[in-house]
Amino acid sequence: MPADVVLFTPVEVTVRGTAEEPAELVFVKRASCDGYGVPGNLEGEQLEPGPFTRTQTFTFDTHGYDTICVWLWDDDRWTSLAKASVTAEPRKAAASLSISAPQIAPGEPTTITISGTVDVPRVVELRALDAASRCPQWPVSWDARDPAPLTVPGEAPVGPGPFTVTIPWTPPASIDDAPSTLCAFLFPPGRLIEHEAEASFRLVYKPPVVPPPPPRVVELLGPPDGESGDRLNPRLSWRRAANQRRYPIAQDVVRITRIEGDQRIPVLRMTTERWSAESKQARMFLSLPRSRRTSEIARVDGSSLRLRSPLWPGTYEWTVARADHDDAPPRRFVVTAPPLERLTVTTRRVAGDSSTLPMHVKLVVRAGTPFSYARAFRLPGGRWQRSGWRTGASSTVDWLATSCRRPGGRVEWAVQVRDAFGAEREQSGTVANVTRAECRRLKRREAEAQRRYEAMIARYRRNCRAIGGRVVVRGRYLHCRTPGGRELRVPGF
């Protein structure tokens, strides 16, 4: 018998000897041969006289020492002719196990890989636990009374030596029924009583594939994309959210952008409560109030927003952004204005305060369109006094000044207006200049004021000297100080 005996592994025991007379050869595996009893009650092999060699296979299935007892038995005399024994201490198989598995999805076939090493032939068995987190100590005792019964995906013979086994497995289609732990056990072939090695593996499931929800996009209603017309105060409308009962922009942000060729100029950003200019150029295209409240710049009702101030003619783009939604595809609209068909200029003389500026003329320009460019000049000479300023339906310009160098006569003026389409209109006229009498009156007033000023300065100097001080000039101001530099208060000033 070999010296290294492994539990649950067949071992061959060979007996050699010589029988001098016919006898029966009896083999017995026992903890001890002493006190065994009468071997004649056991069946054996009949031997003829002479030398013999016999081999028998035994399997050791208990821990501790076991003995193989052999007798040559004479049935006629009911006695033992010869006796031999051999004792062995079987050991467990030297084995190791490990499990690996990819990330799996319920209902999809996968492959479980079991690898390890064992020094004798064995059977590796894979089991899946429905809910337990640890493999059972005695797999054979795991029955339906337990809260998490075992399922058996597969088994395979292995060894001796290193091994790798792949077992196909399809987990349940429902994640609720899917096992959470894989257990691998190494058993002797045909004896699923006591395992000799085990390994566990915590399964990792792929997150369920949830189809992305359909994109939620704010639906713009009007004006239609690319629409052009006389829309100086456009009305922008879009479909409100389901939880917005009254104001469609309670949770929305409206943006308006001006398009000039390839250039995009942000103009406005608005919510229900506040608005803000998106760029410095915004005031060029819209009259903006000082207040930041949206109600000052637009009228918001149950389904739309309408600007109170007119937009400068041109092409604009607008869109709406909403939380948890994709931005609405931007739409464009073209703002046009009525063409320039009439021009009215009225003048008014405003008296000045000095002979240097005895009078200026206020020009009030009224055009037939709220958006136009205008410039004005004063004749003779034809030099434009101001150009490129913008006017609405009515604008006032008050910078045509006169002079007392050439009093009398009339002052000539001219105003030229151009609309957004290039149409031009011009109007000119005259206004009465300041008269000589008005200039003399202004000059007398200025001379009287100068005399009063000089008298006041002289009185300040006299009063300063009277209190022992001296007048010191610092810039444009007079100071009364003592010889030591201390400031004195002058009586009467």
Cβ neighbour number for residue 43 with a 10 Å cutoff: 9
CA 216 to chain centre: 17
Confidence of residue 309 (pLDDT cuts 50, 70, 90): confident
Q: For residues 360 and 339, what is the distance between their CA atoms, to the nearest angstrom?
A: 32
Q: For residues 295 and 11, what is the distance between their CA atoms, to the nearest angstrom?
A: 100
Q: Residue 386 is encoded by which pair of tokens?
A: 């101001």
Residue 135 has pLDDT above 80, yes or no: no
Q: For residues 46 and 58, what is the distance between their CA atoms, to the nearest angstrom?
A: 20
Contact indicator for 411, 372 with CB cutoff of 8 Å = no
Residue 451 has pLDDT above 90, yes or no: yes
pLDDT, the chain, mean = 78
Residue 223 has pLDDT above 90, yes or no: no
Question: Per-residue pLDDT averaged across 134-140, rounded?
Answer: 62
Contact indicator for 364, 398 with CB cutoff of 8 Å = no
Q: Is there a cis peptide before residue 160, judged by omega within 30 degrees of 0? A: yes
CA 248 to chain centre: 25
pLDDT at 70: 83
Q: For 314, left (φ over 0), alpha (ψ -120 to 50), or beta?
A: left
pLDDT at 247: 47
pLDDT at 149: 43
- Give pLDDT tens digits for 464-481: 988 888 888 888 888 898
Min mean pLDDT across 83-92, 154-163, 175-184 is at 175-184
Cβ neighbour number for residue 454 with a 10 Å cutoff: 9
Confidence of residue 452 (pLDDT cuts 50, 70, 90): very high
Q: Residue 403 is encoded by which pair of tokens?
A: 């002079």
pLDDT at 142: 47
Residue 10 has pLDDT above 70, yes or no: yes
Contact indicator for 345, 429 with CB cutoff of 8 Å = yes
Q: For residues 389 and 387, what is the distance between their CA atoms, to the nearest angstrom?
A: 6
Contact indicator for 364, 334 with CB cutoff of 8 Å = no
Question: Per-residue pLDDT averaged across 390-418, rounded?
Answer: 73
Min mean pLDDT across 74-83, 242-251, 466-475 is at 242-251
pLDDT at 257: 92
pTM of the entire structure? 0.41
Measuring CA to CA, which residue among 424, 431, 419, 409 is closest to residue 362?
Answer: 431
Q: Residue 27 is encoded by which pair of tokens?
A: 């083999």
Residue of higher predicted confidence among 443 and 206: 443
User: What domains are defined for the chain?
Assistant: 10-88 (2.60.40), 96-202 (2.60.40), 220-335 (2.60.40), 343-434 (2.60.40.10), 452-481 (no CATH)
Q: For residues 40 and 73, what is the distance between their CA atoms, to the nearest angstrom?
A: 7
Confidence of residue 146 (pLDDT cuts 50, 70, 90): very low
Residue 47 has pLDDT above 90, yes or no: no
Q: HSE of 200 in the Cβ direction (CA atoms, 13 Å)?
A: 12
Q: Tell me the three-class secondary structure of the chain, residue by residue.
A: CCCCCECCCEEEEEEEEEECCCEEEEEEEECCCCCCCCHHHCCCEEECCEEEEEEEEEECCCCCCEEEEEEEEECCCCEEEEEEEEEECCECCCEEEEEECCCECCCCCEEEEEEEEECCCEEEEEEEECCCCCCCCCHHHCCCCCCCCEEEEEEEEECCEEEEEEEEECCCCCCCCCCCEEEEEEECCCCCCCCCEEEEEECCECCCCCCCCCCCECCEEECCCCEEECCCCCEEEECCCCCCCCCCCCCEEEEEEEEECCEEEEEEEECCCEEEECCCCHHHHECCCCCCEHHHCEEECCCEEEECCCECCEEEEEEEEECCCECCCCEEEEECCCCCCCEEEEEEEEECCCCCCCEEEEEEEEECCCCEEEEEEEECCCCEEEEEEEECCEEEEEEEECCCCCCCCEEEEEEEEEECCCCEEEEEEEEECCCHHHHHHHHHHHHHHHHHHHHHHHHHHHHHHHCCCEEEEECCEEEEECCCCCECCCCCC
